[in-house]
Amino acid sequence: MKRITTLVLSLAAFGLTAFAGGLLHNTNQHIAFMRMMARGASHEIDGVYTNPAGLAFMDHEGWTLSLNIQSATQSRDALTTFALFPEADHTRLYKGKASAPVIPSLYGAYKRDRWTFSGFFGFTGGGGKCSFDNGLPVFDASIMAGIYGQTAGLKKTLADNPLTAPILADPRIAGLLPLTADKYDINSSMKGRQYIYGLQLGATYRIMDWMSAYAGARMNYFDGNYTGFVKVMPKPEMAATVQQIVLAYPPLAQTLSTLVNQNGEMANIDLNCSQTGWGITPIIGLDLVWKGFTLAAKYEFKTNLSIENDTKTATAEPAAFESALADYKHGVNTPNDLPAVLYTALGYEFIPNKLRATVEYHYYDDKHAEMAHDKQKALRHGTHEVLAGAEWDINKIFTVSAGFQNTDYGLSDAYQTHTSFSCDSYSIGFGGAVNVTEKIKVNVGYFWTTYKDYDRSEENYFNTTMPGKDTYSRTNKVFGAGIDFKF
């Protein structure tokens, strides 16, 4: 039962991590971030998200709006070695593809004297859509181990009973039990969608000529769907052998019928579960400006977020596996908190209105944000991020910039699963901006992320009682363009 429970948990716990930022946050909301990365000291419209207190120092009185569109692609692969895999080296490559072809974000700010009122809408968490068309290691390993253990037990039962022990002398039975993966086919697939929509509103006040503060909140709406199935069918030659044995030894009919149901299936698990939920994130910020320096900070409080199941299908055969689906029945709630986050940044303008740079640090308090089955407790520490970026105004029309981000999640083997694994990484972004007119700016940016492979091994591989090893790897590429308006 533990093996199948692990399998079903993997189906429903399908997690899509963010394209940039912490485990549950997307920080790449504006194209200026993509092309510079470190935007925590920004005094432009993207500061609505990255440095809302800095809006008090915007150079435009009145309205500023910004529309941004990004397109992202990811790969999420697992190279798995497991003793029951029939390949010569017992190793398989499982490929996952994730995409978010359109990631929009909208910014707005109205500045008048010492007050600035601002708003933001975007996908603040979730990673779009992901599919594993050939299933996942935990699917195959759990099923193979379960079938092997069950049929090995059946063989022992026959051997221990004086009335049935002679039957094992039949070469058809001797060659059948225990069942190995070459005697049946596993057909499995997993597809998931996960978005967190964020709507933020707040106000900034310039307390002194050199200091400003911000207070606001973001409403987060979670929308996810997870569709997956696992079907195990005997190969034709195995099905024929079972039928021959049943005819030759009628007393075994009931025993062998537990291996194959009336539809000719050995196992059939099906899940279609949607999840929704919402939570509020209070936000405060501070910005200090002095002789070319900008020191900025933003703090987002923990968001209590619980997601509720709207389940269309949650079935498992044999019926004994139904209890493993209990957490994903219709109406069940699961914690999915967004952690508290501290953002700090130090910017300096080396040449006034010409050359500037920023260094930045982010801390995500993941260990105190409740996750399903207390998964957060398996993390070694919260997420640490270090960023740096520079921007150069070539002239009044053209700007170029580049930046760097390094992310350390505090991962552990117990935290990682096939459907929701993360890898420490670094990202590099670059791009530019064009001032089409004094009131219209176009931004273009591109960044890619290089991930460090994560090796995970255990003697009891996902409760299969057998050893196994995974190497998780990922890729990430994002392109975007946006336009800022002043009026």
Would you say residue 21 has pLDDT above 80? Answer: no
- pLDDT category of residue 96 using cuts at 50, 70 and 90: confident
Would you say residue 9 has pLDDT above 60? Answer: no
Would you say residue 78 has pLDDT above 60? Answer: yes
Average pLDDT over residues 165-177: 83
Distance CA 253, CA 473 (A): 46
Would you say residue 432 has pLDDT above 60? Answer: yes
pLDDT tens for 325-348 read 777 789 999 899 999 999 999 999
The domain spans of the chain are 2-486
Backbone angles phi, psi at 72, to 5 degrees: -130, 145
Closest CA to 141 of 82, 182, 93: 82
**In the numeric block, which tokens belong to residue 40?**
């925590």
What's the 3-state SS for the chain?
Answer: CHHHHHHHHHHHCCCCCCCCCCCCCCCCCCHHHHHHCCCCCCCCCCHHHHCHHHHHHCCCCEEEEEEEEEEEEEEEEEEEEECCCCCCCCEEEEEEEEEEEEEEEEEEEEEECCEEEEEEEEEEEEEEEEEECCCCHHHHHHHHHHHHHHHHHHHHHHHHCCCCHHHHHCHHHHCCCCCCHHHEEEEEEEEEEEEEEEEEEEEEEEEECCEEEEEEEEEEEEEEEEEEEEEEEECHHHHHHHHHHHHHCHHHHHHHHCCCCCCCCCEEEEEEEEEEEEEEEEEEEEEEEECCEEEEEEEECCECCEEEEEEEEEEEECHHHHHHHHHHCCCCEEECCECCEEEEEEEEEEECCCEEEEEEEEEECHHHCCCHHHHHHHCCCCEEEEEEEEEEECCCCEEEEEEEEEEECCCCCCCCCCCCCCCCEEEEEEEEEEEEECCEEEEEEEEEEEECCEEEEECCHHHCCCCEEEEEEEEEEEEEEEEEEEC
Mean confidence (pLDDT) of the chain: 88
- Residue 430: how many CA atoms within 13 Å on its side-chain side? 3
Average pLDDT over residues 147-153: 84
pLDDT tens for 200-212 read 999 999 999 999 9
- pLDDT category of residue 229 using cuts at 50, 70 and 90: confident
Of 40-44, 97-101, 286-290, 402-406, which range is least confident? 97-101
- pLDDT category of residue 252 using cuts at 50, 70 and 90: confident
Give the pLDDT confidence score for residue 247 in this predicted structure: 80
Give the pLDDT confidence score for residue 164 in this predicted structure: 81
Give the pLDDT confidence score for residue 286 in this predicted structure: 98
User: Is the model more confident about 386 or about 416?
Assistant: 386
Q: Quick one: angle between helices 137-160 and 2-12, nearest 10?
A: 160
Would you say residue 321 has pLDDT above 90? Answer: no
Q: How many other C-beta atoms lie within 10 A of the C-beta of residue 98?
A: 22
Give the pLDDT confidence score for residue 45 in this predicted structure: 98
Closest CA to 93 of 81, 83, 102: 81
Would you say residue 172 has pLDDT above 60? Answer: yes
Average pLDDT over residues 6-34: 66
Would you say residue 405 has pLDDT above 80? Answer: yes
Average pLDDT over residues 91-99: 87
Share of the chain above pLDDT 90, in %: 55
Distance CA 122, CA 196 (A): 8
- pLDDT category of residue 97 using cuts at 50, 70 and 90: confident
Domain 2-486 has CATH 2.40.160.60: yes
Average pLDDT over residues 48-71: 97
